[in-house]
Amino acid sequence: MKYKISFTLNNEKVEHEVESHKTLLRMLREDFDLTGAKEGCGQGECGACTVLLDGKPVNSCLVLAVDADGRDVLTIEGLSNGTELDKLQASFITHGALQCGYCTPGMIMAAKGLLNENPHPTEEEIKEAISGNLCRCTGYKKIIEAIMDVAEK
């Protein structure tokens, strides 16, 4: 069964018909071609699928698409302003805070959610905020430095 939903996606109002069982992650990737959010574990363990729902980070593999109705969804694709990267995106590049990049969109969206609530977090608060986001490549040090750099400005 399909439901009609309307929501804000990357700062634009959209209407969409979606199956009741479809996850937010699958809707974003399959119906809107927004493939920045990744499916890693598919069960809330890795954070690769993190997007912001009403400004807060969620594992989009665990959220039903119909639950986006009336809400605000921001994905990594909506973070930049045209060709101007968000400060976090730029800082990840400057600090070399990625290798394969699979975790990066989720990591940046988790950090964005933190900075929305707490623009100047401590290192411990940053570590806590990204504790649900796994990275198999970087060892986290450069990721934390990249977020710290934005948080200190």
Label residue 145 exposed, middle or buried (CB < 10 Å: 0-12, 13-18, 19+): middle
Q: Which is nearer to ligand FES, 49 or 109 (CB)?
A: 49
Nearer to ligand FES, 43 or 83 (CB): 43
Q: Does 63 bind ligand FES (CB under 6 A)?
A: no
Report how far apart, in Å, the C-alpha atoms of 17 and of each of 2, 22, 68, 74, 104 are: 6, 11, 12, 19, 29
Q: How far is the CB of 141 from ligand FES (least distance, A)?
A: 12
Q: Which of residues 1-40 bind ligand FES (CB under 6 A)?
A: 39-40
**Is-contact 46 60, C-beta < 8 A?**
no
Q: How many chain residues bind ligand FES (CB under 6 A)?
A: 23
Q: Is 45 helix (H, G, I), strand (E, B) or coil?
A: coil
Per CB under 6 A, which of residues 70..99 are in contact with ligand FES? 98-99
Q: How far is 18 from 142, CA to CA, in rounded Å? A: 39
46 touches ligand FES (CB under 6 A): yes
β-pairing verdict for 2-9 and 72-74? parallel
Give the per-residue contact string, 117-146, with ligand FES (x = CB under 6 A; - = no): ------------------xxxx--------
Residues lying near ligand FES in the complex (CB under 6 A): 39-42, 44-49, 59, 61, 98-104, 135-138
